[in-house]
Structure 1
Amino acid sequence: MSSESGSESEVAPELPEEVEHDKQGLDLAKSLAGRLKQQAAAGGFKPVKRRRRPRIDGAQISSARPDDRDPQKLTNTLGRLMRDQGWEVDVAVHGVMARWPTIVGREMAEHCKPESYENTVLTVRTSSTAWATQLKLLAPDLVRRLNAELGEGTVTIVNVQGPHAPSWRRGPRTVKGRGPRDTYG
């Protein structure tokens, strides 16, 4: 500010004594307010209320203590997902299949491979009929070891399958009958 304006008293600008008001805008606002009142009285108009966001599972809006909205460790999240979907047993069984050599031993693992697990039955494929016989004799011990790893009652039966035999049904000329007999191993 300059020193000149500081010494003079500030004067408000002069307004015209009577300003002509535009009544068309006022009439429009009055008619709109009247229509809204009629519509509200008829029940067709409901005032808009600002709604609060619903709380998730009764959780507090903010807290100093950890809750489900905080960042979680991946292992906790995957564990909860597996539990909710009922995948715990399947994942544990597949983990055992991955550690098969440490559970049954290196030599047996070379000749016996787990194929599938369904309804507490583990199916194991062997490389020869001799290994199939050996595994059938060791099945109760194997069930005990697997249940120690997975939890009691997870595996009740070990279904031992022999080796896959080649098909003799190839070529343009085949002979009916049983074909050659061999144990293939």
Structure 2
Amino acid sequence: MVGEGEPREQGSSGYDMARKALEDARAAARAAGKSVGQGRASPSKRTSAPRPAARRGWTGAGPDVHDPQPMGRVAGNLAGRRGWNSKISEGTVMGAWDRIVGAEIAAHAQPKMLRDKVLHVTAESTAWATQLRLIQSQILAKIAAVAGNNVVTSLRITGPQSPSWRKGERHVKGRGPRDTYG
């Protein structure tokens, strides 16, 4: 390479200067007794025994464990190994409630919790709660089709909660105000 004090040759390009610098470096390495190859410099003495080259086999035309797998299958296998399948099934019931029971029923009843394979559903009125109790077996069949068998074994359907008149520690026993609405 051209230093600060060296005059630059007329007509030499950057490519020519790089080639000359490489030739000078190779000549200096030969003079020092080091081997010089075309690529990287040869490595220094190895400290451990060389490993035998691993023979890489070819996979066949069929599916193999080394092939890319669909994300759903990978996630399903992971959930199975970690024991998450029951929680995923519960989440499916709660998250896909509209799709399972239909838009009309979902507009009037919502699942609240799933505990011990019993799904607690709250209806917006006592009439809807009665209707849901009548079609309870059909709802269970739809849930089993989407989330799997034995995820939900029974439904506990309740109507809306009435307001509590019991306030504070001291209260009067009895039925409370009944004729105040009308």
TM-score by length of 2: 0.55
Look up the equivalent residue of 2:165 and give its one-letter code: W
Residue aligned with 2:149, SS: coil
Aligned to 2:173: 176
Note if contact 2:92-2:147 (Cα within 8 Å) is conserved in structure 1.
no
Aligned to 1:163: 160
Q: State the alpha-carbon separation in 2 of the partners of residues 75 and 83 from structure 1.
A: 12
- Give 1 or 2 for the bigger CA radius of gyration: 1
Amino-acid identity (%): 40
1:100 aligns with 2:88: no
Instruction: Find the partner of 1:78 among 70, 75, 82.
Output: 75
Change (3 A) 1:102 1:73: closer
Unaligned runs of 5+ in 1: 1-49, 53-59
- Structure 1 position 89, deviation (Å): 3.1
Q: State the alpha-carbon separation in 1 of the partners of residues 175 and 146 from structure 2.
A: 43
1:121 aligns with 2:121: no
Instruction: Find the partner of 1:146 among 143, 146, 150.
Output: 143
Q: State the alpha-carbon separation in 1 of the partners of residues 56 and 128 from structure 2.
A: 63
Aligned to 1:33: none
Q: State the alpha-carbon separation in 2 of the partners of residues 62 and 178 from structure 1.
A: 83
- Structure 1 position 81, deviation (Å): 1.9
Q: State the alpha-carbon separation in 2 of the partners of residues 93 and 172 from structure 1.
A: 39
Instruction: Find the partner of 1:133 among 130, 135, 138.
Output: 130
Change (3 A) 1:61 1:145: farther
Q: State the alpha-carbon separation in 2 of the partners of residues 181 and 101 from structure 1.
A: 37
Q: State the alpha-carbon separation in 2 of the partners of residues 79 and 164 from structure 1.
A: 39
Change (3 A) 1:172 1:115: closer
Q: State the alpha-carbon separation in 1 of the partners of residues 158 and 55 from structure 2.
A: 58
Deviations 1:40-80 (A, max 9, x none): xxxxxxxxxx9x9xxxxxxx996544547x87654333212
Residue aligned with 1:103, SS: helix
- Structure 1 position 83, deviation (Å): 0.6
- Structure 1 position 139, deviation (Å): 0.4
Note if contact 2:101-2:139 (Cα within 8 Å) is conserved in structure 1.
yes
- Structure 1 position 157, deviation (Å): 0.6
- Structure 1 position 116, deviation (Å): 1.4
- Structure 1 position 149, deviation (Å): 1.6
RMSD: 3.2
- Structure 1 position 171, deviation (Å): 5.9
Look up the equivalent residue of 1:154 and give its one-letter code: V
The count of aligned residue pairs is: 125
Aligned to 1:91: 88
Residue aligned with 2:160, SS: coil
Unaligned runs of 5+ in 2: 1-48
Look up the equivalent residue of 2:143 and give its one-letter code: L
- Structure 1 position 141, deviation (Å): 1.0
Note if contact 2:108-2:128 (Cα within 8 Å) is conserved in structure 1.
yes
Residue aligned with 1:116, SS: strand
